[in-house]
């Protein structure tokens, strides 16, 4: 990727008018531009990291219109980064994958079952909490669009198991995911969640929100 394109991406991630900046960087998509956006998933700044999630989703979907196979390669690399054999941790990969699959139904047809396979209880338990939280947010992002896949018994069991996590963000995001799938209120033991005053942060429609687990669990 050229230096001007790299600079344009970095400036976009810090722009005060993010929606406009995102559209502008999508005018000329390349592998290098997408790679730079993927790298930004590791940012320590929360706003930058979430903008990078949105950028990866937007750019990969634009790229798929011109070069579907190359776009699939990006998705495969994100999935590979979550594999222990890759030697990496995959920071931000679950969120970026969810954003891609939410924006591109063709990609979802092929890759959503793989995404869902990470949501089994035994898989979530093995993950670093931040990665597991990324997958839980992914269900929140994708739940309304793909409840047929993400509403499977195995996924629901994984989400239910996450309600017992010691990490507030894990519990909170599991609540949002189950709520998005329309099954939260039917679960036993909801009373304890309604009394849980721990706070967590989540992204929805381009904005960061903070709420308590108690409020998230309400109908």
For 17-74, write each residue's pLDDT tens digit. Answer: 999 999 998 888 989 899 999 999 999 999 999 999 999 999 999 999 999 999 999 9
Provide mean pLDDT across the span 197-217. Answer: 96
Q: Return the pLDDT at 189.
A: 80
Q: 173 near 213, Cβ under 8 Å?
A: no
Q: Which residue has the higher pLDDT, 79 or 189?
A: 79
Q: Return the pLDDT at 87.
A: 63
Selection from 202, 197, 195 nearest residue 170 by Cα: 202
Statement: residue 2 has pLDDT above 80 = no
Alpha helices in 14-92 (DSSP H): 18-25, 31-39, 46-66, 68-81
Q: Return the pLDDT at 34.
A: 94
Q: Return the pLDDT at 3.
A: 63
Q: Return the pLDDT at 188.
A: 85
pLDDT tens digits along 81-135: 998 776 677 899 999 999 999 999 999 999 999 999 999 999 999 999 999 999 9
HSE-CB at 116 with a 13 A cutoff on CA atoms is 20
Q: Which residue has the higher pLDDT, 152 or 88?
A: 152
Question: DSSP of 114-171, one letter per residue?
Answer: HHHHTTSHHHHHHS-HHHHHHHHHHHHHHTTT-HHHHTSHHHHHHHHHHTT-SSHHHH
């Amino acid at each position: 990727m050229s230096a001007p394109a790299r600079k344009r991406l970095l400036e976009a991630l810090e722009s005060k008018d993010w929606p406009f900046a995102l559209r502008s960087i999508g005018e000329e998509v390349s592998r290098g531009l997408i790679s730079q956006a993927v790298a930004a998933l590791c940012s320590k700044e929360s706003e930058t990291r979430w903008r990078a999630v949105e950028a990866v989703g937007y750019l990969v979907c634009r790229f798929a219109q011109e070069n579907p196979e190359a776009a699939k390669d990006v998705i495969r690399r994100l999935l590979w980064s979550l594999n222990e054999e890759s030697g990496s941790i995959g920071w931000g990969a679950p969120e970026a994958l969810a954003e891609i699959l939410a924006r591109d139904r063709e990609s979802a047809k092929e890759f959503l079952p793989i995404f869902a396979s990470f949501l089994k209880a035994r898989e979530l338990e093995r993950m670093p909490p931040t990665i597991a939280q990324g997958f839980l947010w992914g269900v929140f992002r994708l739940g309304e669009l793909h409840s047929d896949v993400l509403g499977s018994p195995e996924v629901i069991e994984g989400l239910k198991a996450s309600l017992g996590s010691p990490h507030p963000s894990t519990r909170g995001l599991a609540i949002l995911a189950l709520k998005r799938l329309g099954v939260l209120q039917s679960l036993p033991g909801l009373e304890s969640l309604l009394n849980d005053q721990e706070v967590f942060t989540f992204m929805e429609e381009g904005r960061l929100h903070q709420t308590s687990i108690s409020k998230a669990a309400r109908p």
